[in-house]
Amino acid sequence: MSAVVGPEMDAQRRANALRAFHTLPREDRHDVLALARQGRRHPDERVAAVAWWYAAAVLQPRWFNRMPVWLPLLVGVACFALALLTPAWWLVVPGIAAVLGGGSHLRQRMTLSPLLRMMRAPGQDG
- Residue pair 8/56 in contact (Cβ under 8 Å)? The answer is no
The residue among 26 and 107 whose pLDDT is bigger is 26
Question: Above pLDDT 70, what percent of the chain?
Answer: 89
Instruction: Record the pTM.
Output: 0.72
Give the pLDDT confidence score for residue 126 in this predicted structure: 42
Integer angstrom CA distances of residue 116 from 7, 58, 91: 10, 10, 36
Is it the case that residue 119 has pLDDT exceeding 80? no
- Residue pair 47/115 in contact (Cβ under 8 Å)? The answer is no
- Where do the DSSP E strands lie in 65-105? none
Average pLDDT over residues 89-117: 87
Is it the case that residue 68 has pLDDT exceeding 90? no
Give the pLDDT confidence score for residue 82 in this predicted structure: 93
Is it the case that residue 101 has pLDDT exceeding 80? yes
Q: How confident is the model at residue 4 (pLDDT cuts 50, 70, 90)?
A: low
Is it the case that residue 24 has pLDDT exceeding 70? yes
